Amino acid sequence: MYQLYGLVNTKPGYKADYIFTNEQAIELYNTFPIARINAKKEAGRSSVSNNTLRFYIDRDGELLKEQILNLDADIFVCCGYSDYIEESGNLLLNFLNNKCHYNLIKQPDDDWIYYDEKQNKIAINNWHLSARKSSEEWYNLLTDAYYRFLRSHPDFTESHRK
User: Each residue of 112-153: pLDDT tens digit?
Assistant: 999 999 999 999 998 876 677 788 998 999 999 999 999 999
pLDDT range class, residue 162, cuts 50, 70, 90: very low
Q: Per-residue pLDDT averaged across 83-94, rounded?
A: 90
pLDDT reported for residue 44: 64
What is the DSSP code string of the chain?
-HHHHHHHH-BTTBPPPS---HHHHHHHHHHS------SS-S---S---HHHHHHHHHHTHHHHHHHHHHHT-SEEEEE---TTSSTTS-HHHHHHHHTS----EEPTT-SSEEEETTTTEEEEEEPPTTSSS-HHHHHHHHHHHHHHHHHH-TTTGGGS--
The rounded mean pLDDT for the chain is 89
Q: pLDDT category, 155, cuts 50, 70, 90? A: confident
- Given a cut of 60, whether residue 80 has pLDDT beyond it is yes
pTM comes to 0.89
Higher pLDDT, 54 or 43: 54
pLDDT band of residue 46 (cuts 50, 70, 90) is low
Whether residue 111 has pLDDT greater than 80:
yes
